[in-house]
Structure 1
Amino acid sequence: MRGLLFTSSKASSPSHSSTQSPARTPVTTPHHRTFSASIQEEDLLYAEQVIKRWDLESPFYTKLDSLFTGDGREARQFVKSVTNLQSAMHSFVSECASSEKLIHAQKLMQVAMKRLEKEFYRILSANRDVLDSESVSNRSSRARSSVLNSDSDEDDRISMSGTSVSDGERATVSETVMADLKSIADCMISSGYGKECVKVYKILRKSIVDETMYNLGVEKYSLNQINKLDWETMEPKIKTWLYAEKIAVKALFSGERILCDYVFSSSEKIRESCFTEICKERAVTLFEFPELVTKSKKSMERMFRSLDMYTVILDHWPEIEMIFSFESTTAVRTQAVTSYVKLGDAVRSMLTDFESTIQKETLKTAVNSGGIHPLTRYVMNYLVFLSDYSEALSEILADGPLQVHSPLPESYFSSMTSDESSSSSISGRFAWLVLVLLCKIDAGAEIYKDVAQSYLFLVNNLNYVVSKVSNSNLRLLIGEDWVVKHEQKVKQYAGNYERMAWSKVMSSLPENPTVEDLSIEAARDCFRRFNLEFNEAYRKQSTWIISDHKLRDEIKISLSRKISPAYRTLYERYRGYFQGVDSVVRYAPDDLGNYLSDLFHGAGAPGSVNTSSHSSSSSSYLSRAR
């Protein structure tokens, strides 16, 4: 037909060339118009046949009928007929805006759009399980890129790279459903019925977001409500928020953005409008909560939860910025930044209060056993937990460094660079707080009237500080040299303790009993003096404690090596002179080790030191020590 038409036009052209002006040369126009009209009429007839089969008002329609099922052939045929109908309508308008064909085509278009709207609603409602935000958000960045750059081909399928093999079937269904939604949206938008499509989408997806946020425990609070909550009630709500924020950013909002971008890829304006109405309100409510917490009553116990919230927002900021990149979602980004800044301010304030509290604290009463002071435990455990947030604290201190009330000695930072040891750095801040505590410990040792016990107090508390630093992130922050230096100081204090507590016991024995010849009276006097001093030392120190088992064993071994060999020699050389005289020789050499093993547990003396001189007499002490 096309060949015949063009042959005819060429044949007629020469016969009229001499009599017809150039303005009247297109003699083929009536033929073309007739051909075009016939094509449009065929499109209209074809569209009518396809669309009428799926008319919602048809007597043959049942609720079980679904256009987008199976291999999608029917759906593609339907969408293609709508596209052809739209093209025919444009042609009819150019001919006559009030023609019967145009009116008929418009009615068919309305039938088709009602059908597509119904299918759009059905697909969204029936496939919530494969359109859940977590599944959608698991698409790789490559898949997301392909979504944003995809064309409007009705048979387009989103790339599923990043979906695990075990989820293959689910991914295929999700893929198909998303492509069907996109096909319907593209068709309705291009046909001028985007408003109806968008309305359905907003209603259904917003209900899912609202339901998910409710299930996650996200509520809208006022400052007055937050201020009425005690910490026991507040902390669980913060934990709930921390979990909800991760799910919302990583899955819920991210998934909604990906789905919205894909389904409405043909219109930037519609994508923004849909996503904003679906997620904006809930997102603002989510990120408003941390700000309200910072405005409530301040207390040191809120430090770590505030850091948790600060860290979560810091870690998720790239995703937040990307997900809510639309101009209409600026309020969400602004609220997230506001909460982030307020949390940083709150943490700086609590750090200042913490330092001030330590400096004001005075150790007025001595720990009876010479053990670890509660202030030492509290401060070091607090610092250990704080050190786990070193990255967040670095950000916070960089935004607004704290003021140091006293300068740090240069020798305190022998293993740090000048930048690291500055008062505004996180390392400098932790080192300063530890130094303040050590000064308090030194002052606390002066409370003890017994010098030996004051050294034992220093041993216990300094060793506790060093142990906490060594076994946490504080070691990286304060430095290896600091640890080595203070481990040596612990040993020095331990040596001072041994000398002050046991010097009289050691001096009661001959310096070199293997060489010295003692008279019987001198030996008797030596045993009596040893009994007296050892009994006194044991009695006094039986309630003292060394908390660290390793350090406790080291000091016991050190004392045994200094006392036992000399006493054993004296015992073996002179015991025969004092047979049956229990008041002179009270201890067998093995007894000394057993008694020493009972020390530093804080249990107190089990009884009088007056026992028999036989080794078996101390078996009960040995069993308890074990």
Structure 2
Amino acid sequence: MAMDAEKDKPLPPSFDDNAKTENNNNNDQQPDLDQDLPQNHEVDSPSSRGPPSDADSKPGNDNGSEIKAEEELAEIKLEEESSPLPPDLNKVSEEIDQYISLLSSTSKNDDQPTQPDLPIFVEQFINLVVAKIDNYDSGDSPVRWSRLTDEDSASFLEAVDRVSSLSNALSQFSSEEKYAYSINSIGGVLQRAMSYVEEEFKSLLEDYKINNSDQSNNTRNDAKLKQSKSSISKEESDQNPHPESSPAKESNIPGYSEETLSSLIRLSNFMITGGYETECCQEYFVVRRNALEESIHKLGFEKYSIDDVHKMQWESLEREIEAWIKTFKQCAMVQLSSERKLSGTIFSDHPSISESLFGSLSHGVLIQLLNFAEAVALTKRAAEKLFKFLDIYEALRDVLSEIDNLFSEEEWVKEIKTEASMIRSLLGETMISIFNEIENSIKSDTGKNTVPGGAVHPLTKYTMNYLEYACEYKETLEQVFREHQKIERADSATGSEFDYNSQTQNHNNEKVKQSPLQAQIIKIMDLLDANLEGKAKLYKDHALSSIFMMNNGRYILKKIRGCNEINSLMGDTWYRRKSSDLRQYHKGYQRETWGKLLSCLNPEGLSVNGKVSKPLLKERFKSFNTMFDEIHKTQSNWVVGDEQLQSELRVSISQMVIPAYRSFLGRYSQVFTPGRQTEKYVKFQPEDIETYIDELFDGNARKKP
């Protein structure tokens, strides 16, 4: 049959779809679509003609041989002229369109008892499409979609679309045995074409990964594009009659050029309308998920299981938290916006698909990040973790607020907000528990070892530095304590709840409203004061006990004045009360140390019968000298680290001692015989006293001459 003859005739390796065929007798007549479907045309073939006669081949007849040769040449020429040229795709496509229209108006239950055989142009059309696919999808070296001209790509998609329409039109006759083979063949061609389109769609999407080597600038630049273009093989370049003379323009979507986006839009629409929505969405989701995970990795965040997080040393976990915060903010506030723009652009004709894909991608990457935050929140609580917990808490609060503003209409946002709210609750409860443990650690610090020289106690330094650092998060901590005001107190004998939103009384017995955080900080400060008072009693020297309290008190006040946040929490009333306490310790120190010394300079009892008793006077000077030597020796080893407090103490001592000593010395020094006696009992001049006082509290006693 002619159909078989056409099938056996090999197609040329290349052809022009727009070329017009001539002298094609088989295609001169269009099928009458109102009548029965056209039957196959018989085409003469060389095998249909008989062999040459014996007369034409008799030996010895030279003229006959010449005549025979001429006849054979004429016969070959006639044969070539009568052979049909390769069918034209455009012409056959018109016939296919008419045929599809006829099939669409034809029902299997029409009056025709039997459907006619498929016309020959159906097989011709399929062969032409297969040849076109072979030209593009040639095994290991397929022609990349980005190298096709607009004309070539449009022609390919139009041909495949026509195959899809033909397949759909013939599907109503799938039970007809004589159609089964053709329907399966057409389905196979469609599957192969769609596989090529799917692979090219994936390849274009992955072009983001190929060219995105710099995370700080995830848009493709012209230089990278040129480099990528130059790597294409010469064979592939030869296939493209219109090579690009300039780089692709960048789009406003990071990672893809305008040309790439245009191709992605065409291919996605083609796959979806062609019944390959699932494959299209799957490829898009996998590629973009991988791209997001690659971006997360480049930002420094690694994916860890809960067990991995719990086994990690805190120093290592701190670094991972910092990377997580950076990644979470970048991903949620920047990358998701770009991701939404990308899906909205590629699937602009299918908004429901765009939202579904964007939601799935966003949900997946955010859940992965939230899982890490949850694992951190469930680690064993410790005071040093407070600040990283606060960082995570703030990131969750700020980022989720931004997500809510940008994507509030999305269904997936609700689940993300619920998950994040749960993690914030875990963190909030843990942070309040940490403050509770700080209280307990202060109360339990009952060591019996004193700090040498009455210096600032390590507990004071740790507590104040901790609170100072914590109060840099004042607003966040206020929020944490408002949302978690009532927790079960570990120090409560009844296990009842403690209300942080409490009131306190000032010195005028007036009730003052306190914020939850303020009440917590004041409670810690009160516990610290009580602890320090207990530690001060460990010093046998009451004067040193006062120095210890002054050192610690001044350190506390200096920290509070140096931090606006904690200063505003403690308030002026508390600060004045604490300053008053320090003045009392100062007075106690002067009384214990220098008051006893000044008793040696008291003139009472020195006169007997109106005359100064030299023995008593000698005893007074000896007592003063001995006592002052001891004070200098001892208190030069005492430590007052705060320069201002050290200066205040020295000045107050000098003002108290030197005038009294100068007056006493001027009044009674002439009683002694000038010379050795005076030198023996008057050991110090007022200037010497002042010099030695300036050597007090530096922690390094100097031996006096």
Question: Would the TM-score normalized by the shorter structure come out above 0.5?
Answer: yes
Instruction: Give the match for residue 681 of structure 2.
Output: 584
Q: Indicate which of 477, 494, 511 corresponds to 2:569.
A: 477
Instruction: Give the match for residue 489 of structure 1.
Output: 581
Judge conservation of contact 1:363–1:443 (CA < 8 Å) in 2: no
Deviation per CA, 1:162-191: give whole Å up to 9, x if none.
x9xxxxxxx696455445433432343344
Judge conservation of contact 1:294–1:346 (CA < 8 Å) in 2: yes
Q: 1:489: Cα distance to partner?
A: 3.4
Higher relative contact order (CA 8 A, sep 6+): 1
Q: 1:550: Cα distance to partner?
A: 1.9
Judge conservation of contact 1:303–1:350 (CA < 8 Å) in 2: yes
Instruction: Give the match for residue 206 of structure 2.
Output: 125
Q: Indicate which of 422, 433, 452 corresponds to 1:349.
A: 433
CA 1:596/1:184 → structure 2, altered by over 3 Å: closer, same or farther? farther
Judge conservation of contact 1:290–1:343 (CA < 8 Å) in 2: no
* Alignment map for 1:413-432 (pairs within 5 Å): 418-419=512-513, 421-422=514-515, 425-432=516-523
Separation (CA, whole Å) in 2 of partners of 1:233 and 1:172: 33
Instruction: Give the match for residue 12 of structure 1.
Output: none
Structure 2: which amino acid aligns with 1:204?
A: V
Judge conservation of contact 2:201–2:267 (CA < 8 Å) in 1: yes
Judge conservation of contact 1:509–1:566 (CA < 8 Å) in 2: yes
Deviation per CA, 1:250-287: give whole Å up to 9, x if none.
44545434433332233244234434554544432321
Q: Tell me whether 1:274 sits opposite 2:361 in the alignment.
A: no
Judge conservation of contact 1:370–1:454 (CA < 8 Å) in 2: yes
Greater displacement, 495-504 / 341-350: 495-504
Structure 1: which amino acid aligns with 2:648?
A: E
Q: Indicate which of 628, 631, 640 corresponds to 1:546.
A: 640
Judge conservation of contact 2:394–2:476 (CA < 8 Å) in 1: yes
Q: 1:390: Cα distance to partner?
A: 2.1
* TM-score, with structure 2 as normaliser: 0.62
Instruction: Give the match for residue 193 of structure 1.
Output: 276
Separation (CA, whole Å) in 1 of partners of 2:522 and 2:316: 34
Q: 1:459: Cα distance to partner?
A: 0.7
Q: 1:117: Cα distance to partner?
A: 3.6
Q: Indicate which of 383, 386, 392 corresponds to 2:467.
A: 383
Greater displacement, 322-331 / 312-321: 322-331
Greater displacement, 266-275 / 431-440: 266-275
Q: Indicate which of 323, 328, 333 corresponds to 1:245.
A: 328
Separation (CA, whole Å) in 1 of partners of 2:330 and 2:295: 10
CA 1:80/1:551 → structure 2, altered by over 3 Å: closer, same or farther? farther
- Please list every run of 5 or more consecutive structure 2 residues that lacks an aligned counterpart in the other structure: 1-33, 35-89, 99-124, 174-178, 220-248, 487-496, 604-609
* Alignment map for 1:106-125 (pairs within 5 Å): 116-125=197-206
Separation (CA, whole Å) in 1 of partners of 2:302 and 2:171: 58
Separation (CA, whole Å) in 1 of partners of 2:355 and 2:611: 103
Q: Indicate which of 294, 310, 327 corresponds to 2:411.
A: 327
Judge conservation of contact 2:198–2:280 (CA < 8 Å) in 1: yes
Q: Indicate which of 563, 566, 569 corresponds to 2:657.
A: 563
Q: Indicate which of 588, 598, 615 corresponds to 2:695.
A: 598
Separation (CA, whole Å) in 1 of partners of 2:436 and 2:192: 70
Structure 2: which amino acid aligns with 1:595?
A: Y
Q: Indicate which of 261, 264, 273 corresponds to 2:347.
A: 264
Q: Tell me whether 1:290 sits opposite 2:381 in the alignment.
A: no
SS at match of 2:645: helix
Instruction: Give the match for residue 624 of structure 1.
Output: none
Instruction: Give the match for residue 205 of structure 1.
Output: 288
Q: 1:310: Cα distance to partner?
A: 2.0
Deviation per CA, 1:205-247: give whole Å up to 9, x if none.
2223334445534324245x55544545544444443344334
Q: Tell me whether 1:317 sits opposite 2:421 in the alignment.
A: no
SS at match of 1:383: helix
Judge conservation of contact 1:133–1:251 (CA < 8 Å) in 2: no
CA 1:127/1:400 → structure 2, altered by over 3 Å: closer, same or farther? closer
Instruction: Give the match for residue 4 of structure 1.
Output: none
Deviation per CA, 1:76-123: give whole Å up to 9, x if none.
88459857996998799899988x9x9999999878755654443332
SS at match of 1:301: helix
Judge conservation of contact 1:310–1:340 (CA < 8 Å) in 2: yes
* TM-score, with structure 1 as normaliser: 0.69
Judge conservation of contact 1:253–1:323 (CA < 8 Å) in 2: no
- Please list every run of 5 or more consecutive structure 1 residues that lacks an aligned counterpart in the other structure: 1-29, 31-36, 138-156, 164-170, 512-516, 612-626
Instruction: Give the match for residue 411 of structure 1.
Output: 506
Q: 1:436: Cα distance to partner?
A: 1.9
Q: Tell me whether 1:58 sits opposite 2:135 in the alignment.
A: yes
Separation (CA, whole Å) in 2 of partners of 1:325 and 1:132: 33
Separation (CA, whole Å) in 2 of partners of 1:412 and 1:75: 86
Q: Tell me whether 1:397 sits opposite 2:481 in the alignment.
A: yes
* Alignment map for 1:78-97 (pairs within 5 Å): 78-79=153-154, 82=157
